[in-house]
Amino acid sequence: MQMETRGHITPTDAIRAHLEKRLTSALNRFTLHIRQVTVRLDDINGPSHGGTDKQCHVEVVMDTGRRAPIVSEAVHEDLYTAISQAAERIAEAVSRDVDRVHHRHDHRKS
């Protein structure tokens, strides 16, 4: 599973480790179905403003025949929390896509 990180926030080693741990944990069982994972980390309001503005946007390109990538996003005042929430959401969405593909194949065999 290839993972690329982009965005206006340059991740520290600790953020990068958290990101890799959370996404690997969330998506590990689907690696055969995943072609590419792109993560975008942004501070929506800029570094000088406080508030709930740290965004983690995750995009997964699948090998299931799905044309559009699966997208998940979370915004929180804490970047670690935003990453964790986005990882949970993308795992649910990828699971639904993989289940849909397997369900479709099972019906064709009947």
Q: What is the DSSP string of 56-106?
A: EEEEEEESSS-SSPEEEEEEESSHHHHHHHHHHHHHHHHHHHHHHHHHHHH
Domains, the chain, in order of start with CATH, read: 2-109 (3.30.160.100)
> Over 80: is that where the pLDDT of 103 sits?
no
pLDDT confidence tier of residue 84, bands split at 50, 70 and 90: very high
3-state helix, strand, coil in the chain (%, to 5): 45, 30, 25
pLDDT score of 66: 80
pLDDT score of 48: 67
> Over 90: is that where the pLDDT of 2 sits?
no
**Cα gap 69→71, rounded to integer Å:** 6
What pTM does this model have? 0.87
Per-residue model confidence as pLDDT tens digits over 19-74? 999 999 999 999 999 999 999 999 998 766 666 789 999 999 998 888 899 999 99
**Could you tell me if 40 and 60 are in contact, meaning their C-beta atoms sit under 8 angstroms apart?**
no
**Could you tell me if 87 and 60 are in contact, meaning their C-beta atoms sit under 8 angstroms apart?**
no
pLDDT score of 65: 81
pLDDT score of 45: 83
> Over 60: is that where the pLDDT of 109 sits?
no
Phi-psi region of 76 (alpha: psi -120 to 50; beta: other; left: phi over 0): beta
